[in-house]
Amino acid sequence: MLEEIDVSPRGHLAVRLRDVIERRWSAEVQAIGVHGSLAHGDDRDGSDVNVLVVTYRAGAGPKPALRKVDGTLVDLEVVTGDEGLRRARELTSRWPLDADRYVTTRPLHDPRGWFARLRDTHLTRLAEARPPEFSTLARHNWALASAAHTRAVRLAEWYETDAALVMIAEARLHIALVTGLLTRTYFRNAADAVKRTGVAGADMQELSTILKEHAEELAARGRPVDGNLGALFE
């Protein structure tokens, strides 16, 4: 496995990082792995190196960092084993973007099988989750998508084209997250989300149509996306 990851410059960098971390914090680190393109085996020029370091206690091991190393962006995340497993049991409105790292992380150092436990913990949580949990999270993203869409329309009317484009991009992403939550589909990243849900090139009118369709589905699932003041506290 390590021979395979070492064939690309990004993989070679990840292995170098692992070796440095193991030498300097051998007593503090219980596991090291990569997620993202390196974990999927399709990294290429321009890909990031996403490294997760799992420690035995808080404050131990290397410090989290986000910076370029030899021209490649490295995202170094550090978490305790207990905290990492706790996060794997959380379902948030960003679940479609977070789940991939729980189920597709490639170990570089994992003598006790922590990453397998991470995956099993998350899959168990998904099996326990009831449909209303995902619907609630989807409604949250629907509200953000609707607000972004409304702002985009107003900005376009004021000829604030650049700002409108930013809001359209935000609306597309949250609409993609709604779809992901309603179908229990997770994505590798934001670009993958808007591409796979077919909203990457959607204009404001098309986004408006999708928002209406999502609103109808969410209402059918037990609670409308709009209501009176009393409904806010239900």
Name the average pLDDT for the chain: 96
Tokens of 197: 């849900």
pLDDT, average across residues 64-82: 97
Domain map (residue ranges) of the chain: 2-128, 131-233
What is residue 231's predicted lDDT score, i.e. its pLDDT? 80
Buried b (16+ CB within 10 A) or exposed e, 112-121: eebbebbeeb
122 phi and psi angles, rounded to 5 deg: -70, -45
pLDDT tens profile 131-168:
999 999 999 999 999 999 999 999 999 999 999 999 99
Answer whether residue 87 shows pLDDT above 80. Answer: yes
What is residue 1's predicted lDDT score, i.e. its pLDDT? 47
Residue closest to 195 by CA, chosen among 158, 169, 162: 169
Tokens of 25: 């914090």
Quickly list DSSP for 131-192. Answer: HHHHHHHHHHHHHHHHHHHHHHHHHHHTT-HHHHHHHHHHHHHHHHHHHHHHHT---SSHHH
115 phi and psi angles, rounded to 5 deg: -70, -30
Tokens of 230: 């009393």
Check residues 203 and 1 and name the one with the higher pLDDT: 203
What is residue 35's predicted lDDT score, i.e. its pLDDT? 97
What is residue 102's predicted lDDT score, i.e. its pLDDT? 98
pLDDT, average across residues 50-75: 97
What is residue 184's predicted lDDT score, i.e. its pLDDT? 97
pLDDT band at 37 (very low <50, low <70, confident <90, very high): very high
What is residue 7's predicted lDDT score, i.e. its pLDDT? 77
pLDDT tens profile 94-135:
999 999 999 999 999 999 999 999 999 999 999 999 999 999
What is the H or E stretch that residue 122 is in?
Answer: helix 114-128
What is residue 4's predicted lDDT score, i.e. its pLDDT? 65
Fold of 2-128: Beta Polymerase; domain 2 (3.30.460)
What is residue 232's predicted lDDT score, i.e. its pLDDT? 77
Q: Which residues contact 134 (CB under 8 A, 6 or more apart)?
A: 91, 95, 181, 182, 184
What is residue 5's predicted lDDT score, i.e. its pLDDT? 73
225, burial (CB in 10 Å: exposed 0-12, middle 13-18, buried 19+): middle
Q: Which residues contact 54 (CB under 8 A, 6 or more apart)?
A: 29, 30, 31, 32, 33, 79, 80, 81, 84, 114
Residue closest to 10 by CA, chosen among 48, 41, 39, 40: 48
